[in-house]
Amino acid sequence: MSIFFGVDYYPEHWPRERWETDASMMREMGLQVARLGEFSWARFEPRMGEFHFEWLDEAIEILGKNGISTVLGTPTAAPPAWIIEQNPEILPVDSDGLVKSFGGRHHDCQSNPAYREHVGRLVTAMAGHYRDNPDVIGWQIDNELGNSHENLCMCDSCKAHFQQWLKKKYKNVETLNREWGTCFWSQDYDKFEQVPVPRKTPTAHNPSLLLDWKRFCSDLIVDFQDFQVDIIREICPHHFITHNMMGLYDKTNYFDLGRNLDFASNDQYPTGYYFESGEGQPDFEISACLDFIRGVKKKNFWMMELEAGPTGGAIIGRTPRPGQLRLWTMHCVAHGADTIVYFRWRTCTVGTEQYWHGILPHSGIPGRRYEELKKTIAEMVPVMEDIHGVVTKAQVAVLFSYDQDWAFQIQPHHPELSYVDQIKKYYDGFYKRNVLMDFISEKDDFSAYRLVIAPLQILMTPELEEKFENYVSNGGNLVLTMRTGVKNINSVCELDRELPGNLGRLSGLVIRDYDCLLDMEVEVEWKNGRERGKARKWCDIVTLKGAEVLAEYKEEFYKDTPAITVNGFGKGKAFYIATEPDGPLMDRLADYLISELSLPNWGASPDGVELTVRNGRKNDYMFAINHTNKAQSLKIDQTWRPVSPGCQGMVREYGVEIFARAAREDKNGQ
Amino acid sequence: MSIFFGVDYYPEHWPRERWETDASMMREMGLQVARLGEFSWARFEPRMGEFHFEWLDEAIEILGKNGISTVLGTPTAAPPAWIIEQNPEILPVDSDGLVKSFGGRHHDCQSNPAYREHVGRLVTAMAGHYRDNPDVIGWQIDNELGNSHENLCMCDSCKAHFQQWLKKKYKNVETLNREWGTCFWSQDYDKFEQVPVPRKTPTAHNPSLLLDWKRFCSDLIVDFQDFQVDIIREICPHHFITHNMMGLYDKTNYFDLGRNLDFASNDQYPTGYYFESGEGQPDFEISACLDFIRGVKKKNFWMMELEAGPTGGAIIGRTPRPGQLRLWTMHCVAHGADTIVYFRWRTCTVGTEQYWHGILPHSGIPGRRYEELKKTIAEMVPVMEDIHGVVTKAQVAVLFSYDQDWAFQIQPHHPELSYVDQIKKYYDGFYKRNVLMDFISEKDDFSAYRLVIAPLQILMTPELEEKFENYVSNGGNLVLTMRTGVKNINSVCELDRELPGNLGRLSGLVIRDYDCLLDMEVEVEWKNGRERGKARKWCDIVTLKGAEVLAEYKEEFYKDTPAITVNGFGKGKAFYIATEPDGPLMDRLADYLISELSLPNWGASPDGVELTVRNGRKNDYMFAINHTNKAQSLKIDQTWRPVSPGCQGMVREYGVEIFARAAREDKNGQ
Amino acid sequence: MSIFFGVDYYPEHWPRERWETDASMMREMGLQVARLGEFSWARFEPRMGEFHFEWLDEAIEILGKNGISTVLGTPTAAPPAWIIEQNPEILPVDSDGLVKSFGGRHHDCQSNPAYREHVGRLVTAMAGHYRDNPDVIGWQIDNELGNSHENLCMCDSCKAHFQQWLKKKYKNVETLNREWGTCFWSQDYDKFEQVPVPRKTPTAHNPSLLLDWKRFCSDLIVDFQDFQVDIIREICPHHFITHNMMGLYDKTNYFDLGRNLDFASNDQYPTGYYFESGEGQPDFEISACLDFIRGVKKKNFWMMELEAGPTGGAIIGRTPRPGQLRLWTMHCVAHGADTIVYFRWRTCTVGTEQYWHGILPHSGIPGRRYEELKKTIAEMVPVMEDIHGVVTKAQVAVLFSYDQDWAFQIQPHHPELSYVDQIKKYYDGFYKRNVLMDFISEKDDFSAYRLVIAPLQILMTPELEEKFENYVSNGGNLVLTMRTGVKNINSVCELDRELPGNLGRLSGLVIRDYDCLLDMEVEVEWKNGRERGKARKWCDIVTLKGAEVLAEYKEEFYKDTPAITVNGFGKGKAFYIATEPDGPLMDRLADYLISELSLPNWGASPDGVELTVRNGRKNDYMFAINHTNKAQSLKIDQTWRPVSPGCQGMVREYGVEIFARAAREDKNGQ
């Protein structure tokens, strides 16, 4: 039997005499796996080289006796105090040059050679100890790599590693000078050793340096993970290895991070972390995260941490409403999770996260959350048995590029413009219409998709230009937007050619002027002369070179010039969206593309009610998910029959209704 | 004759030839005491060991000849430049590890041994010099201890002292590990020397460490004061010693700070310091501060600095309106001040506080403020002669706990929730109804009070549980609120028992779920079905175990569950307020409790008009204080006769009317 | 022929083979000068003492062949990496004590002796190389001195230089102690070496120290410039020397900075830098900047950088609307620019400012901006030939004082009060009525002006008091305001005299009380009893000593006391504005003064349409400038004839109409 449900468990937080109780309560709930050991270095190795796994062995055994397998986390996200005492140079340094203190987690520098040595010793010992434990099935490396390291570390070790990284990339410093354009502000380097890390400087750093710094930081994190992966693969070839990612968190390139993993995992806390809003994450954003994680390895994934109670540090989030734990579970499954691991078994009574709630409250007495999850598991197991391992494929793809993202982090153009936000806006336009989407990278094959949406392709290579052209000329449909083809891959603006560079041919237009919409919007009218919306943040001013106009600006000195165009190119079409469409305009655009390109979708649904399908071996399953706090009506095609009886055309607040129909042969989603 | 009025005076700021003028103007105004020497270290000891008190002797003599006694301030809040040059390690270090510069005041580390040596030498010399001066009557230690030291100091000396403090508290590091729960995030310590001060760390520190850090900082300040107290007591046993506190300023435990003092003093600047609002401090807040300071030593206190002109640093406050200086004087007296010392004699022409105005303007020419205070003093002296030394006792007590306060500073739960704010909200509910209140600590006797209000008792000990139970079972009435009994005294959540722990028995309920109201409110209905208000910030979700419902939530999934309950327990009652009541709900609650428990109060008065009473030897005095900028009508019980004639049922804007009646035997307030 | 138009050009940013193309396009456009070399140190001296000017020689020659002269910028605003590597102590230190990194520009300490040596060597070599180049006509020192050095540098070198500066000013430390009032907070110094730079301190520094620090920083910058000026003057006596200032940027005293220059230059980017608002700088503010720069040397100036495209760093500004480049050009000329140099030729493809657009886009293909400027140049040359070198003189002067400005930066009194803002408010009051204004310093001759406006004269000297008195008694008219005569020149409040000190005699009043209007306004009524406005931020409370009331407060306890007064004194009048007038009150005041003093003005115009005149040899030229985005009607006196035909009583959005009439003999403006 496959593993569908599990829990994150920290036996070291609880008295030994509670462990059996916990394990049997887990079993009764239907859990099959526990993640252990993730932050326990000080208990594994209280003194250098002196290892104590016996307590964990015992916990694993107790769980195993209750039918619960173990995934081990390497505890390298929190080096113990004795390591910091012995090698204080491990502490990370911020962009001011200030050393951060021991006392939270991630108080380490991932390039530091002393730290690597400690990590290597511990992981080798751990892998050796558990290679033959029958209850251990796999590993999670570290925890949420990149998290809490934001803007860290800029220590001397990182500086030396950055310079090495640059030397490897550019070979000689003259090339770096040329590629970065160091002639600006007299920044020519004589040797790599002169290149700074981007500590605070009067004014601002060269954007080419900043972009390479972000790439270096991502590569360093990947290297830090793979250093551990290599050790474990060698010792435990029969165990799987994964890592718990964070959806669209963008400090590390997850396509790279996923390369050496068996599958991707994800952590998701729908009510939020920092509580900018009590509402938590909007559902379209969570859906995008899940679809993105499915895209990392092009296959189904684990939820390694799914919220099971109010989140909280110094501030505490709203409590999950009745039904929400069930909803979040089904939401994840609907978007490609094969296994759901809840965070965490019991709310910890100590430490920084003592208000980050688990399934059980501090008291350890099962309550509302335990009961709801127990029922949910019972309800879901039959469905999961059928769908497990089957990947649902979309016909629309969103191109996600860390390079483009980082380029816009460095130079957002408009104060509110971000690449990820723009990706989400396009995603939401189609998501609201129940269109299934995949996320892909520039390196993936486009040809499987009827439509590829590629916003803000500001950094461009000849290879990617050619790939876009081939895709469209062979019948693909491509959405490009403002700020495409502006720069080369090292963030240097293109010389001697007009925007959007060679993609102007594909798009049938040229951009000779543009306008950043600070504190203003510009009216846009759809070609039918009736529907209107707003251009936001940026207007490319288009000169047509063959493209057809779909919408026009209706204000400013570029009144009556194109805002949205389409250009037939070979067997396909290239769309150019010269601005950020506001809600109504995005709606119009999505409707147009769905209808024009006959994109499959699961029909209309009330606002906040999502319809999505996962394919199974025997059946396809439609999940009708009501993300709102009101009951909503539901009209589902008659070909679908309710899996749970009693659905009367309504779905309750935070409710999910599941429908099934016989699986179609091609397993191709919509 | 006792001392009723005085002034803070800095002769060193003014030419020698002005001193006689100042002294005779003070005498004419009715002043009897001056505080001197508070920031004059560089003038006392311009070079190490070379003391110059002759100039101050002269000033004291001139004042003495005018009938003005002297209180000496030890000038240890501003070590001179030569000390910093000689021992730069005295400079304080912030949470980033940055050293603060000489140039303001409080540029010192209170744990630093070199600084202690300098302080000891100076204070010893000063005490020796003034022990027999007949014009010197007492001492103020340092100035507003804790002020400007916020988040300072985290230097190596403080780190060593913190580790010593922990060693003293926990004896061995295993106990610390267990009590702090260092198993979380792998923070076990091998020795106390590994424990960090809470400098900035990636993510956040362990809340147990943070709580102990706050206790250590408070203890250090107390120790720094008592180091001086001990020297002076030894040398000048016939002088009183006090310290100028800052109301509800919460960086130092004032109950501890007051322990070795003869009486507490307070500084109050009603128009404000940082001018978040031009309105200044609301009157209920000032009243709470005064009542609190009265509670520190359970006796009357001095105002050591009372605002006598616009306050100001870089920004200047609104000028006191005509009548306000009189009002503030009487307001302080009404709440228990026996002596009023105005800050300061004359607005300084130099330095950082050159816009912090005194009684006289920069010009030195008496104006509006001088005249108003002179009249006020003449008016007040007869009253003060009668009330001096008589403490008015309340029947309602507000429990104030620094531990609870600090616990909520570390983890506020809701972004706008603070312990002090919550205390003020309850205080205001009764204050608006002219109910006299005392502030007490957990260590005080509860039995003298008909009602004890104890909000947010998140940290709980068996002793306090028992004390609460005994108090109620013997006939006391206790208000507890949401977030009671959550943790032990070291900020570790209670294991294996439901909220609010043992106090659930007293309250007749159990809390199994709760909801942090981020960006939302929840409607609450009083049990009569008519009155409504809002639950704010947090809702405990109550399961009744015998308590009676007084009000219910009317929204969310906990609709129709209790928001406010009462439980009969022994001879008394325990009230549980499961949320923060908004204004209307707090009004309803206060009315209910006043009526239900027959709490004494001075009757109704218009908004912003306070009625409060001080007992005297011959008479009781009612102060009717109009804090508003409009004239207000006044209805006072006929048993009270106006002290100043001419009160015609009105009190002018910023006006005060005083009434008297023959004193009752028990001196027991209301 | 004189030089009217030029461009900032960076040949090192472009391939050698493009240079001829650029030069010939410049020539065709009508450009006559290029500024070169400004940030090219690493290219001039790639290794210490190894100079390479050959590439620049070639660029200068190519430009020269196209009739384009060269102004050389010394590249000292961006020392190259090898200098920082060799002398890392050059890096600047902020007020936290943190060292800033290489990687932007201005990563240097201007007091550092090692840096001075590098600068001296480079500038000497450069001047020697170019002294006889016939195409080189002058020099710009560094770039926007003071910019990006804000609050920098506080390193040990700067500390030592500050202490030297203080020693030079105060001779001995006792004088410093007395002048600064170090008796406050025990800050007496034994020696200059104890005086700190104002690094962050608990609480705040002495305002006298802060004021001297600002003076020192300004003097240091002037010294840094003049160090270079002296070298170039010595070697290249036939070249002019200038510096590109930044309007009312107030970190450096531009009167001092201009002292050794041949003329002042200015940089102006009307759409803005940091984009607090997309609207950019309001036109009255730009006008004030231009008039101020004209005042620095009392003569016409160069625009060394005038915006020629969207500005931008990480954020990009709105694109200039059609017509705006022409408008900005004419706006500058109308206010005294004799030469306009556009920033920059072509948008750079690399580096931090790759989005700071030039005339040409990244592509290098001339577009809308090139065409508009080319036409503008052709249109303007005939006008500029006539007006070149003729200075238009105003009859109203605004007194601008860096000392007063810095005093209010240190102590703003009210959170929104700033000296420069107050200057702008008065400027705008008259500017809106098309009154020509000069800016003058305290050292200038007042007698040439019918009205001198001198807001916020908080620091006062006997000399300035006397100068004001003489000016008025000889027939001048003077506007003084609240907060006049409060302090001596070292920021110490005046002792033993009432406000506004000796100026009370001139103004016929005394100030005994005042009120800072935090979160409030006070109604004011003009003496006619009809017009009303508001007092803002501050109210001086006036006691009349002979002055006549023009307006009164109508609220607060100072209701019916004077808000604006006038006092006849000798042959002139002194006006006292006791508050900040809001818009309607400022309008009333300006109307009153214009009418009462018969101040010349160019008549009424619609909101946002400016009428201003420049005198020429043959003609006077009136520029009617429509700063708004709507067409506006225009009524011009018949004595003026349109220079360009076709003006039909309208001026288009962002349009300018030029009119001419025969020049009058006195060349005296209005």
pLDDT digits (tens, 9 = 90+) for A86-145: 999 999 999 999 999 999 999 999 999 999 999 999 999 999 999 999 999 999 999 999
Please provide the DSSP assignment of A258-301 as one string.
HTTSSS-EEEE-TT-SS-SSTT-S-HHHHHHHHHHHHHHTTS-E
Which residues on chain B are in Cβ contact (under 8 Å) with C203? 104-106, 148, 352
pLDDT band at residue B665 under the 50/70/90 scheme: low
Asked if the structure places residue A285 within a domain, the reply is yes
Instruction: Pick A148 or B597 by higher pLDDT.
Output: B597
Residue C332 among known ligand-binding residues: no
The pLDDT value recorded for residue A623 is 97
- Residue-wise pLDDT tens digits, A506-545: 999 999 999 999 999 999 999 989 999 999 999 999 999 9
Return binding residues of B.
105, 109, 143, 153, 155, 158
pLDDT at A667 over 60: no
pLDDT at site A277: 86
pLDDT at res. B276: 79
Cα–Cα distance measured from residue B611 to residue A464, given in angstroms and rounded to the nearest whole number: 80
CA-nearest residue to C355 within chain A is A413
Of all residues in chain B, the one with the smallest CA distance to C490 is B350
* Residue of chain A with shortest Cα separation from C354: A493
Residue C364 maps to which CATH number? 3.20.20.80
Q: Output B558 or A669, whichever has higher pLDDT.
A: B558
Distance CA A368, CA A376 (A): 12
C-alpha distance from residue C312 to each of C158, C328, C347 (Å): 32, 18, 11
More confident position, C188 or C496 = C188
Neighbours of chain A (3+ CB pairs under 8 A): B, C
In total, how many domains does chain C have? 3
What is the set of active-site residues of A? 144, 305
Where a domain ends, among C369, C387, C405? C387
Residue with the two structure tokens 């390694």: A304
Q: Is the pLDDT of residue C168 over 70?
A: yes
Which amino acid, A110? Q
Minimum Cα–Cα distance from A182: chain C residue: C351
Q: With contacts defined as CB-CB under 8 Å, which chain C residues touch A186?
A: 39-43, 75, 78-80, 105
Residues of B in contact with C186 (CB under 8 A): 39-43, 75, 78-80, 105
Tokens of B622: 């009612």
Name the percent of chain A lying above pLDDT 70. 99
Compute the average pLDDT of residues B80-103. 97
Token pair of B488, please? 């032990």
Give the minimum alpha-carbon distance from A306 to chain C in angstroms, rounded to a whole number.
36
* Min Cα–Cα distance to chain C from A94, Å: 12
Q: CB–CB of B364 and C496 under 8 A? A: yes
Beta pairing class for A572-577 and A562-569: antiparallel
| Separate counts of helices (H) and strands (E) for chain C | 17, 24
Q: State both tokens at A13.
A: 């937080």
Answer for the pair A27, A68: CB distance below 8 angstroms, yes or no: yes
> What is the per-residue pLDDT for B274?
77
| Cβ distance of B181 and A349 shorter than 8 Å | yes
- At C636, the pLDDT band (50, 70, 90 cuts) reads very high
Q: E-strand spans in A530-587?
A: 532-544, 548-553, 562-569, 572-577, 579-581
Q: Is residue B182 part of a domain?
A: no
CB atoms within 10 A of CB A639: 11
- Residue A151: predicted pLDDT: 74
Answer yes or no: is C369 a known binding residue: no
Q: Hey, are the CB atoms on A103 and B205 less than 8 Å from each other?
A: yes
Q: Would B212 be classed as within a structural domain? A: no
Q: Beta strand pairing status for B136-140 and B451-454?
A: unpaired
The confidence score (pLDDT) of residue A669 equals 47
Whole-number pLDDT of residue C665: 65
Residue-wise over C237-257: b if at least 16 C-beta within 10 A, else e? eebebbbbbbbbbbbbbbbbb
For residue C552, give Cα distances in angstroms to A334, A477, B145, C540, C556: 73, 72, 45, 12, 12
Residue A602 corresponds to which tokens in the numbers above? Answer: 């699961």
Which tens digits make up the pLDDT trace of B566-580? 999 999 999 999 999
CB within 8 Å: C518 and B275: yes
Nearest chain C Cα distance for residue B288, angstroms: 25
Cα dihedral sign, A530-A531-A537-A542: negative
Residue C202 included in any domain: no
Stated as kind and residue range, the H or E segment containing A180 is: helix A173-180
The answer to whether the Cβ–Cβ distance between A96 and B96 falls below 8 Å is yes
For the stretch A484-501, pLDDT in tens is 999 999 999 998 899 999
Does B10 share its domain with B130?
Answer: yes
Q: How far apart are CA B157 and CA B168, in angstroms?
A: 16
One domain, residues C34 and C111: yes
**Is 50 exceeded by the pLDDT of residue C669?**
no
C516 is in an annotated binding site: no
- Tell me, yes or no, whether C401 and C380 share the same domain: no
Residue of C nearest to B151 (CA): C202
SS3 A612: strand
From C179, C305, C469, C580, the catalytic residue: C305
Helix pair C156-170, C173-180: axis angle to 10 deg: 90
Q: Looking at the domain assignment, is residue A177 inside a domain? A: no
From residue B450, give the alpha-carbon distance in Å to each of A593, B290, B433.
Answer: 73, 21, 16
- Our answer to whether residue C305 is catalytic in this structure is yes
Annotated binding-site residue? A477: no
Task: Kindly report the pTM of this predicted structure.
Answer: 0.97
Q: Residue A666: what pLDDT?
A: 58
Sheet holding B656-662, edge to edge: B609-615, B619-626, B656-662, B641-642
User: In angstroms, rounded to a whole number, what is the distance separating the alpha carbons of residues A146 and A406?
Assistant: 15
Q: Which of C184, C195, C537 to mutate to test the interface with B (most CBs of B within 10 A)?
A: C184
Angle (CA) C547 C548 C551, round 5°: 120
Q: Is B498 a catalytic residue?
A: no
Q: Over range C60-64, report the average pLDDT.
A: 98
Distance, in Å, from the CA atom of B486 to the CA atom of B497, rounded to the nearest integer, reads: 10
Same domain, C358 and C427: no
Q: What is the DSSP letter of B43?
A: H
The predicted model gives A56-73 an average pLDDT of 98
Is there a contact between A573 and A472 (Cβ–Cβ < 8 Å)?
yes
**Edge-to-edge, what's the strand order for the sheet holding C641-642?**
C609-615, C619-626, C656-662, C641-642
Do both A405 and A340 map to the same domain? no
Averaged pLDDT for residues A438-452: 97
CA separation for the pair A192, A204 (Å, rounded): 20
Length reported for chain C: 670
The pLDDT value recorded for residue C198 is 97
The model's pLDDT over A594-607, given as tens digits with 9 standing for 90+, comes to 999 999 999 899 99
Is the same domain home to C267 and C132? yes
Give me the percent of chain C exceeding a pLDDT of 90.
95
The answer to whether A78 contacts B188, with C-beta atoms less than 8 Å apart, is: no
Task: Give residue-wise pLDDT tens across range A325-358.
Answer: 999 999 999 999 999 999 999 999 999 999 999 9
Task: Please give the residue range of the domain that contains residue B657.
Answer: 609-662
Residues B534-569: tens digit of each pLDDT: 999 999 999 999 999 999 999 999 999 999 999 999
Cβ atoms of residues B289 and B266 within 8 Å: yes
Same domain for A548 and A634: no
Q: Do A350 and B412 touch (CB under 8 A)?
A: no
Residue A549, CA distances (Å) to A87, A175, A540 in order: 64, 43, 14
Each residue of C367-380: pLDDT tens digit?
Answer: 999 999 999 999 99
Please say whether the beta carbons of C589 and C576 come within 8 A. no
pLDDT at B446 over 80: yes
**pLDDT confidence bin for A427, thresholds 50/70/90:** very high
Distance CA B410, CA B403 (A): 11
Residue B320 — pLDDT band, cuts 50, 70, 90?
A: very high
In this prediction, residues B614-622 reach a mean pLDDT of 97
CA distance B176 to B492: 12
Q: B421: domain CATH number?
A: 3.40.50.880
Residue of C496, C515, C516, C556 to mutate when probing chain B, most B C-beta within 10 A:
C516
Judge whether A158 is annotated as a binding position: yes
Is the torsion defined by CA of A304, A308, A310, A314 positive or negative?
negative
> Is position A260 annotated in a ligand binding site?
no
Instruction: Identify the pLDDT of residue C666.
Output: 58
Measured CA to CA, the distance from residue B140 to residue B36 in angstroms comes to 9
Domain boundary among A596, A625, A642: A596
Same-domain status, B447 and B358: no
Determine the average pLDDT of the residues in C517-534. 96
Nearest Cα of chain B lies from the Cα of C161 at a distance, in angstroms, of: 18
Which residues of chain A have a CB within 8 Å of the CB of B520? Answer: 278, 318
Calpha distance A153→A98 (Å, rounded): 10
| Domain-embedded: residue C293 | yes
Are residues C352 and A512, on separate chains, in Cβ contact within 8 Å? Answer: no
Residues of C in contact with B10 (CB under 8 A): 183
- Split at pLDDT 50, 70, 90, the class of C276 is confident
In this complex, the residue of A98, A103, A314 whose CB is nearest that of residue B206 is A103
Provide the mean pLDDT of chain C.
96
Interface pTM, i.e. ipTM? 0.96
**d(C-alpha A199, C-alpha A94), whole Å:** 8
Q: Which of B206, B413, B557 sits opposite A351 (nearest CB)?
A: B206
Shared domain check, A236 and A93:
yes
Residue indicated by tokens 């803000």? A456
* Rg, chain C, Cα only: 26
Inter-residue contact B334 to B390 (CB < 8 Å): no
Which of C42, C314, C349 is opposite residue A411, by nearest beta carbon?
Answer: C314
Tell me the CA distances in angstroms from A285 to A144, A320, A608, A630, one per residue in order: 19, 18, 12, 20
Cβ contact, residue pair B80, C414, below 8 Å: no
Tokens of C27: 């020539």
Query: Could you tell me if C538 and C419 lie in one domain?
Result: yes
pLDDT on residue B149: 75
Are residue A586 and residue A614 in the same domain, yes or no? Answer: no
Whether pLDDT at C303 is above 80: yes
Q: Dig out the tokens for A643 from the structure.
A: 């899996």
Active site residue: C38, C45, C144, C469, which one? C144
Tell whether C401 and C383 lie within a shared domain: no
CA distances from A422 to A416, A425, A450 (A): 10, 5, 21
Average pLDDT of chain A to the nearest whole number = 96
- pLDDT confidence tier of residue A274, bands split at 50, 70 and 90: confident
Closest to C519 (Cβ–Cβ): which among B149, B278, B347?
B278
Q: Determine, for residues A498 and C96 on separate chains, whether the beta-carbon distance falls below 8 Å.
A: no
Contacts of C184 in chain B (CB under 8 A): 13, 39, 348, 350-354
CATH number at residue A635: 2.60.40.1180
In this complex, do B103 and C201 lie within 8 Å of one another by their Cβ atoms?
Answer: yes
Q: Which tens digit of pLDDT belongs to each residue from A616-630?
A: 999 999 999 999 999
The burial of B318, by beta-carbon neighbours within 10 Å (0-12 exposed, 13-18 middle, 19 or more buried), is given as buried
Put simply, the answer to whether A520 touches C368 (Cβ < 8 Å) is no
Written as one string, the DSSP assignment of A309-352 is: S--BSSBBPPPPPTTHHHHHHHHHHHTTEEEEEEE-SB--SSST
The mean pLDDT of A398-427, rounded to a whole number, is 98
The answer to whether A4 touches A381, Cβ cutoff 8 Å, is yes
Write down how long chain A is. 670
Tokens, residue B121: 């030498």
Mean pLDDT, range C177-198, rounded to an integer: 97
Mean predicted lDDT score pLDDT of chain B? 96
Chain A residues with beta carbon closer than 8 angstroms to that of C106: 202-203
In degrees rounded to 5, what are phi and psi of residue B611? -115, 120
Token pair 């205001």 is at which residue? B428
Across A387-409, average pLDDT = 97
Burial C474-488 (b: 16+ CB within 10 A, else e): eebbbbbbbbbbbbb
In a domain, B175, yes or no: no
Which residues of chain B neighbour A12 with C-beta distances below 8 Å?
Answer: 183
Percent residues over pLDDT 90 in chain A:
95
DSSP state for residue A50 in the 8-state scheme: B
Task: Decide if B516 and A318 are in contact by the 8 Å CB cutoff.
Answer: yes
Comparing CB atoms, the residue among A187, A195, A516 nearest residue C310 is A516
State yes or no: pLDDT of A422 exceeds 90: yes
A641-642, strands of its sheet edge to edge? A609-615, A619-626, A656-662, A641-642
Does residue A669 lie within any of the structural domains?
A: no
